[in-house]
A and B are shown apart, each in its own frame.
Chain A
């Protein structure tokens, strides 16, 4: 999910002002010193949409997941945030996933 519309969370018809406002709001919420990777992603997305020609390029020459992401959000909308409980199996699956990634990172750091 790295198309610029989805990364910035703007619609395909957003104009210059809306995109700029959105980008600045994101940078304020996730400043580069705290979240350098997020900032880089937002910056790249903003650059890809900053003027009409670039937006057309993104819209015409590539596909994007912006609408799909909005639909997913609609599915989740009626929920009460974090009111449910996960099962033990789900938590275990998440932990195994994390252990696997941590091991892979440790492995790549100590690669010969």
Chain B
């Protein structure tokens, strides 16, 4: 019973009761039936729940959980039976105190619908006796109101229903209805006394909707929602016959769907304001595009913009994203150069919409000006509406993610000019300047940012980093004196009591260059301690040293690093701290130095493979090994982790990455298949990050792909040897097609079968992109080529089953 296995509990208690009908076992059997009924009702199996509850009936006919029993009966349309049961339960003191008032109110509502014969209990002043008295008064009041009796008469009857009665809600509703013609605010206030969970709540809402609206109330909230509420509104509003009929027709047309509603409204242009009818019909058109002709014959031709917009929305509703894209594009192109500001903003809105949709719907492909349709549409949206800050931020983010550095820097500069007071943009400008190694510019942006937002901690940290970077530059140019000054400037941005370990280390290293001993060494050691000490601390110091290309401390750092490795075994924190150190922008750019340093602590790192890493912890470590070309270490860690957790696919994935040395072109066909399955399994488990990581690796764009380091793409400049670019594309496509001649048709066939024709084209185009020649082809051409390959495979082997 405690585990909620009521089915088994019923079986067991039945057997016990059969052996000996002990009262506690009978009681437990009833409880098990009630538990089973609750589970069945929660699944919507009301008939079965009712049967289970009926087995809990006591000799006097009461059941366990009468509220649930009533619910089951109501759900099955047995209102009379429900009323009988509910009335029987009122005042019998067997129900829990918490549900008794709820049950009494439910019984009240049920009895008003199905007035089963009532009998006064022996004790007329008892709870049950009072309920019967109030029931009679309520029924009389309701009938009096329905029959249109004068308010005084109804008031007299209502006064017999106390406000603590289960029929209280009915008293409030009838009082509200009588008060409404003279004092709608008071009528509304009376209704506020009926809570939304009450059985009378629907009645309350209907009355509320029929009341004259308060000045501030919008149309929506006073519009009746259910069929019964709509009928009630028509009845109590006392509409003239014609209006009542029109409203009934409108309600009927609405029920018959948008097309019928549009036709009905279009037929009402004489009786109703044409502009309103036209606007209502225009809003219905996307749901009923087949009524376009009818609309135009009634209201005149639609503008090209509206026509395309309506058809685009209709296509979206039908999930036809190709058509939707085409229609949206035509609509936007018609207004993007208009003199009217709103028209240009509309184009911006549409292009941003396409950019958003392109992320979820691969059918949206753009016109091929960018490899990524999302980027293409955001670019076009900014041409139409250059002041839309979120689009600028999103586009900057996309440029960065997709390594379109030139575009990133250009847009960041432009944005900093256009939005000089936006801290988010200035922070982007700082990042862009740092990435270009334009340190002075970065300092300028950062200063501007801190003027706008002086407590911006990220900007403060960025300033320190900037000065350190600049100091490194000076040290590399053998100007340690200038570097020292730069570090002093960095110290000005430090928070009191929270020294930066990187600043301490750099001050120590530059100080030693300048011969400022013994303070410099003390500062260096302080920095190492702040960085966690041990191998992690000395690794940080060595990395800073390598980045500034200083000469003085090499021996000291080497000795300390060796000593630290001998002194302590690796810990998770230590290794993660090292991984975090090498993940910095400048460290990533100096992967040779990083590789050298990782090599120096190789033995120590090797021991770390036996630590119990989780997949989330391991990703940055894998990235560190990739940066350092330490695929043997990656393989070792993955192998040991797989021994610990053989079911976790992450480890097998990293074993494959290590074997292929981060190069997807070295994957065997079997490994590729294995990874595709792994990605699909991960997606099925909703582990989308893992799925995307694996897929990214397969196509050579993921974080674990070695190709990210040295892009294998050939720049456009390399095409200069060709006189004509179109000719060059054709020649390259031919070359590529020749190089793909040995692509096994079986592989393409399998891709088509697994992914469908369209996705197979996308996947194949992706493969082409990662190939040496494919990288330089325009997206459109690459896609056409992929399409051609897929078409030829289908032509030779028949239509794919999956399609």
Contact = CB atoms under 8 A, between A and B. Distances in A.
A102 to B, nearest CB: 4
Interface string B203-215: 1001000111011
B100 interface: no
Given A71-B272, A98-B199, A106 B102 contact: yes
A87 B353 CA distance: 50
A57 to B, nearest CB: 5
Contact of A82 (B211, B215, B228): B211
B202 A110 contact: no
Given A103-B70, A104-B71, 17 more contacts: A9-B218, A26-B218, A56-B345, A62-B313, A63-B284, A63-B313, A65-B220, A68-B261, A72-B219, A74-B276, A78-B240, A81-B184, A85-B145, A85-B146, A95-B109, A100-B74, A107-B68
Contacts of A53: 345, 348-349, 385, 388
A112 B113 contact: no
A111 to B, nearest CB: 5
A72 B113 contact: no
Interface string B329-352: 000000000000010011011100
B75 A112 contact: no
- Most B CB within 10 A of own CB, among A75, A96, A111: A75
A112 to B, nearest CB: 5
A90 B276 CA distance: 31
A88 B146 contact: yes
Given A63-B284, A79-B237, A98 B345 contact: no
Contacts of B29: none
Interface string B124-143: 00000000000000000011
Given A64-B283, A81-B211, A95 B200 contact: yes
Contact of A98 (B200, B212, B276): B200
A83 B238 contact: yes
Contact of A84 (B68, B220, B228, B236): B236
Interface in A37-51: 38
B235 A87 contact: yes
Contacts of B99: 106
Contacts of B283: 63-68
Contact of B79 (A56, A72, A96): A96
B309 interface: yes
A105 to B, nearest CB: 5
B468 to A, nearest CB: 41
Interface string B145-180: 111100000000000000000000000000001001
A99 B38 contact: no
B236 A82 contact: yes
A10 to B, nearest CB: 8
Given A72-B250, A86-B235, A105-B197, A100 B75 contact: yes
Interface string B404-440: 0000000000000000000000000000000000000
Nearest to B86: A99
Contact of A69 (B75, B223, B385): B223
A103 B71 contact: yes
Most B C-beta atoms less than 10 A away, residue of A10, A52, A82 = A82
Contacts of A62: 313
A9 B216 CA distance: 9
Contact of B67 (A7, A26, A106): A106
A60 B316 CA distance: 13
A18 interface: no
A63 B286 contact: yes
B214 A92 contact: no
Interface of A: 1, 6-10, 12, 22, 25-26, 28-30, 38, 52-53, 56-57, 60-76, 78-88, 90-107, 110-112
Contacts of A103: 67, 70-71, 74-75, 106
Contacts of B488: none
Given A68-B280, A79-B243, A52 B345 contact: yes
A69 B221 contact: no
Contacts of B74: 96, 99-100, 103
Nearest to A96: B113
B106 A99 contact: yes
B279 A112 contact: no
Given A86-B146, A94-B203, A99 B109 contact: yes
Nearest to A27: B216
B4 interface: yes
A70 B250 CA distance: 13
B42 interface: yes
B226 interface: yes
Nearest to B170: A95
B180 A82 contact: yes
B342 A67 contact: no
Interface of B: 4, 35, 38-39, 41-42, 65, 67-68, 70-71, 74-75, 79, 82, 99, 102, 105-106, 109-110, 112-113, 142-143, 145-148, 177, 180-181, 184, 187, 197-203, 206, 210-212, 214-221, 223, 225-229, 231-233, 235-240, 243, 246-247, 250, 261, 265, 272-273, 276-277, 279-280, 283-284, 286-287, 309, 313, 342, 345-346, 348-350, 353, 385, 388
A106 B446 CA distance: 58
A41 to B, nearest CB: 8
Nearest to B4: A112
A104 B72 CA distance: 10
B151 to A, nearest CB: 12
A94 B199 CA distance: 10
Contact of B229 (A26, A94, A101, A106): A94
A101 B215 contact: no
A61 B353 contact: yes
A94 B38 contact: no
Contact of B226 (A25, A88, A97, A104): A97
Contacts of A30: 216
A75 to B, nearest CB: 5
28 contacts: A1-B223, A7-B218, A12-B279, A25-B215, A25-B216, A26-B216, A56-B349, A61-B313, A65-B283, A68-B280, A72-B223, A76-B239, A81-B211, A82-B211, A82-B212, A84-B237, A85-B148, A86-B146, A91-B203, A94-B229, A96-B113, A98-B198, A99-B82, A101-B199, A102-B199, A106-B197, A110-B68, A112-B42
Contacts of A82: 177, 180-181, 187, 210-212, 236-238
B38 A70 contact: no
A70 B28 CA distance: 59
A76 B237 contact: yes
A85 B201 contact: no
A52 B232 contact: no
A65 B75 CA distance: 32
A64 B206 CA distance: 23
Nearest to B180: A82
Contacts of A111: 38, 42
A105 B136 CA distance: 28
Contact of B233 (A66, A71, A76, A106): A76
- With most chain A CB atoms within 10 A of its CB, the pick from B237, B240, B348 is B237
A85 B236 contact: yes
